[in-house]
Amino acid sequence: MAMIAIPRLSAPSGGPGLKALLSRRNLAPAGAAALFAGALAAVVALIGPVGPKPVRIPLEPVGNAAPAEWRQLLRPGRGVQILEQAIRLTERPGDGAAEAFAGVDGAPLPKPAASGPLAPAPIAGFFAPGPGGPLPIIAADGRTPFEAYARPFHPNGKPKVALVVGGLGLNARATRQAIETLPGVVTLSFTPYAEGLQGWIDMARAHGHEVLLETPMEPVDYPANDPGPYTLMADAQGPETVKRLEWVLSRASGYFGLSNYLGTRFLADNRAFDAFAGGLRSRGLGFIDDGAAAGKKGGVPRATADRVIDDALSRPAIEKQLLALESQALQHGQALGAGFAYPVTLEIVARWTSEVEKRGYQLAPASALATRK
């Protein structure tokens, strides 16, 4: 959803006056766009000083019906900035109304197996104050946040299959659907840029889900594909990598490790990965990747996804990948899949998890497949 962010401003000056715009014969479409932009700028003048935080005004649905070129007329010099932000979340996502989720065909999704809640975060002894918020630490008795926040698991001898569903925290409905319709044994991965992040993590753990925090990492097509302002860069010096990593870690508590968001270039650079892994090792965290870091070690609990189940975003393709995951678990004793919180992915995974154990497999959290490498 497009939004505008309005800093502390007095009324804008120097732009074309309304009378001048109205006097132009060729008012449409450029004039119409200017009028629309001028109306938004007038909002700035009416609001006046608003303090250090910007005022954010949703532009849907009026923005969709606005004349072309209105965005270009709102130059930063006029004090109005257009932000392409998807959804702003409440600070307490658990306060929202309950919702019944259904598949695309309208059929209700299967109710996940009952799962006891995990301990509320933060757990005493596993965090310390940091410059940007609490940071995970290894406890005085040597126990790690990986051990404290991972979901307990007891293998039964059957082939193990695990799934990580990522991209959570930006879309409120998708996040709630993942938390409420997937069984607690499915690991959930949250973006550090989400508002109300701690509330989402608390809600996930209350439903039995262990949690990963996504780390934005430089891809090969950066900056065309930009993971955000705290992206870990391949060419950065070690201290800068650790500084950005600690920003990510300080966003919330209750996660047992990190996952990667993009990162094909960063993870291919041994020096960059070593600095990242050193930061995790010193704080007792694990690292689960989507396949981009296959073969990397780092001295931390590690697991790499054997396949991404929704690279091809269609029902038959996702179902085929899940069957391949079962086959891999049958051959090797375990398999790990990764997916994104697309509506079709969430629906298919909800149905698949309700049936896969009937075929002789055991669902496992991702942490149960991690080994120190």
- pLDDT tens digit sequence for 107-150: 778 888 778 999 999 999 999 999 999 999 999 999 999 999 99
Residues 24 and 121 in one domain: no
pLDDT tens-digit series, residues 181-223: 999 999 999 999 999 999 999 999 999 999 999 999 999 999 9
pLDDT tens-digit series, residues 323-373: 999 999 999 999 999 999 999 999 999 999 999 999 999 999 999 999 998
- Could you tell me which of 278, 198, 207, 202 has the C-alpha nearest to residue 238? 278
Single residue among 62, 84, 106 that ends a domain in this structure: 84
Residues 12 and 52 in one domain: yes
Residues 205 and 354 in one domain: yes
Percent of the chain with pLDDT over 70: 72
Single residue among 50, 84, 118 that ends a domain in this structure: 84
- Could you tell me which of 130, 2, 120 has the C-alpha nearest to residue 58? 2
d(CA 118, CA 253): 13
Residues 103 and 231 in one domain: yes
* C-alpha distances in Å from residue 140, one per residue of 81, 100, 196: 48, 44, 30
Single residue among 28, 53, 84 that ends a domain in this structure: 84
Strands, E assignment, the chain? 2-6, 55-58, 81-84, 127-129, 134-136, 160-168, 187-190, 211-217, 257-262, 286-289, 301-304, 307-308, 334-340, 362-364, 371-372
Residues 102 and 79 in one domain: no
Q: Would you state the pLDDT for residue 201? A: 98
Residues 63 and 119 in one domain: no
pLDDT tens-digit series, residues 30-41: 444 444 445 544
pTM of the model: 0.75
Please tell me the total count of domains within the chain: 2
Residues 133 and 280 in one domain: yes
Strands, E assignment, 238-306? 257-262, 286-289, 301-304
Residues 141 and 180 in one domain: yes
Whose tokens are 């698949």? That residue is: 352
d(CA 325, CA 83): 39
Residues 198 and 50 in one domain: no
Query: Which domain, by its residues, includes 25?
Result: 2-84
The DSSP letter of residue 108 is B
User: Which pairs with CB-CB distance under 8 Å and at least 24 residues apart come from 24-31?
Assistant: 28/67, 29/67, 29/68, 29/69, 30/69
Residues 63 and 182 in one domain: no
Provide the CATH number for the domain around residue 202: 3.20.20.370
Residues 116 and 12 in one domain: no
Residues 55 and 177 in one domain: no
The DSSP bridge partners found for residue 288 are: 259, 303
